[in-house]
Amino acid sequence: MTERINPASVPSRTLYTGDTMPAIGMGTFGSDRYTPEQISEAVAGAIEAGYRLFDCAACYGNEAQIGEVFDAAFRKGTVKREELFITTKVWNDMHGRGNVLLSCARSLRDLRLDYADLFFVHWPFPNYHAPGCDGDSRNPDSRPFRTEEFMETWRQCERLVDMGLARTIGMSNMTIPKLEAVLPLCRIKPAAIEMELHPCFQQPELFKYCVERGIQPIGFCPIGSPSRPERDRTPEDIADTQVPELVEIARAHQVHPAVICLKWAVQRGQIPIPFSVRKEQYLSNLRSVTEDPLSTQEMEIIKGLDRNNRLIKGQVFLWPGARGWEDLWDLDGTITK
Ligand SMILES: NC(=O)c1ccc[n+]([C@@H]2O[C@H](COP(=O)([O-])OP(=O)(O)OC[C@H]3O[C@@H](n4cnc5c(N)ncnc54)[C@H](OP(=O)(O)O)[C@@H]3O)[C@@H](O)[C@H]2O)c1
């Protein structure tokens, strides 16, 4: 089986800004499990394999190692800067005036880039938790989302576009009530929203809301994040790749159920960013979008698998007095005050 997929055979998406990005990319969060070296080695292999989109973030703790790989690929001529689409994100401890610019500058320095293709606000509040913390960890300074506080951070992101440091900007871990509050205030609309999306957690309302407004959904944990950190596991969680209907479809296509999750994601219209350090996995993940699409009937079956099963609940970001992780996601339809 070939070890390289022609990047031209990977579909692309056009953002409202006119920029294009690949319809599938690679995630770079090691889930406290994989080292920066293992991940950067996978990024190097993925560039060779034909990946052109990489989802990075300051808090993943590996941008310097990944930057070395980008630099080497540019020098070697494997790929040109303009052929890659690279995202990065400001972490919760760097919100607000001054800090966003600093965070972007550090990420660009580490990634060895002059600009990011897409710069995200990683979470919509400045609630910090230490890397590798456990699920019971709480920061006493945490507080609920506040529109004005978020907008101060967003205004700094807009300045990154003005300065040419980010081609486009986006938000992550948003809800419809939060978007309703902030979108009318944006001078520069988000080009993309990164959100958890997999067959058992399809977020149909948020997905539709974004698409109707010309905002590209990007799906994290597209395979159901089987290696996610312990703090993000609860007994009720469903493993997407073990759902019988999905296993059955995978058997019919003679691929791993993970590959079916990705075919579904791309055919539905979100951009999945699966993570893997294993070559056979990341090759089959990229190949998933270039051959053997799912039938309309299979797409319908997977549509029916939604169980509203959020995996990344974010409880470590809760503030004193919060009722539970549901408060982070405005499940009563209003913004928590
Ligand atoms: N914006 C945010 O707040 C946010 C939050 C979470 C994630 N993300 C982004 O989304 C990316 C992806 O999320 P994720 O890593 O949590 O979950 P994921 O991509 O759903 O799952 C990754 C895991 O799936 C397994 N896998 C991958 N390809 C496979 C294949 N072909 N066959 C079988 N198993 C396969 C691997 O497990 P093994 O390692 O055990 O083999 C891998 O570690 C992250 O890396 C990050 O960039 C963003």
Ligand 1 near 285 CB (within 6 A): yes
Ligand 1 near 227 CB (within 6 A): yes
Ligand 1 near 258 CB (within 6 A): yes
Ligand 1 near 273 CB (within 6 A): yes
Residue 132 has what pLDDT?
A: 74
Output the CA 224–ligand 1 centroid distance in Å: 7
Give me the residue spans of the domains in the chain: 12-329
Residue 136 has what pLDDT?
A: 77
Catalytic residue among 34, 60, 209, 282: 60
Q: Whose CA is nearest to atom 11 of ligand 1?
A: 27
Residue 337 has what pLDDT?
A: 54
The CATH class that applies to domain 12-329 reads alpha beta
Residue 97 has what pLDDT?
A: 85
**Tens of pLDDT, residues 86-107:** 999 999 999 988 899 999 999 9
Which of 28, 88, 221 is the pocket-test mutation for ligand 1 (most atoms within 8 Å of CB)? 221
* Whether residue 115 lies in the annotated active site: no
Residue 135 has what pLDDT?
A: 75
Annotate the chain with three-state secondary structure. Answer: CCCCCCHHHCCEEECCCCCEEECCCEECCCCCCCCHHHHHHHHHHHHHHCCCEEECCHHHCCHHHHHHHHHHHHHHCCCCHHHCEEEEEECHHHCCCCHHHHHHHHHHHHHCCCCEEEEEECCCCCCCCCCCCCCCCCCCCCCCCCHHHHHHHHHHHHHHHHCCCEEEEEEECCCHHHHHHHHHHCCCCCCEEEEECECCECCHHHHHHHHHCCCEEEEECCCCCCCCCHHHCCCCCCCHHHCHHHHHHHHHHCCCHHHHHHHHHHHHCCEECCCCCCHHHHHHHHHCCCCCCCCHHHHHHHHCCCCCCCCCCCHHHCCCCCCCHHHHHCCCCCCCC
Which of 227, 238, 242 is the pocket-test mutation for ligand 1 (most atoms within 8 Å of CB)? 227
- The minimum-distance atom of ligand 1 relative to the CA of 228 is 16
Output the CA 26–ligand 1 centroid distance in Å: 9
Output the CA 108–ligand 1 centroid distance in Å: 24
8 neighbors 50 (Cβ within 8 angstroms): no
Q: Which two tokens stand for residue 90?
A: 């400001």
Q: Whose CA is nearest to atom 19 of ligand 1?
A: 274
Q: Whose CA is nearest to atom 21 of ligand 1?
A: 225
Residue 1 has what pLDDT?
A: 58
What global pTM score does this model have?
A: 0.97
Q: Whose CA is nearest to atom 5 of ligand 1?
A: 220
Low-confidence residues in the chain, pLDDT < 70: 1-2, 336-337
Residue 141 has what pLDDT?
A: 87
- The minimum-distance atom of ligand 1 relative to the CA of 277 is 39
Residue 2 has what pLDDT?
A: 67
Q: Distance (Å, rounded) from C-alpha 56 to C-alpha 58?
A: 7
**Tens of pLDDT, residues 139-164:** 888 999 999 999 999 999 999 999 99
- The minimum-distance atom of ligand 1 relative to the CA of 280 is 31
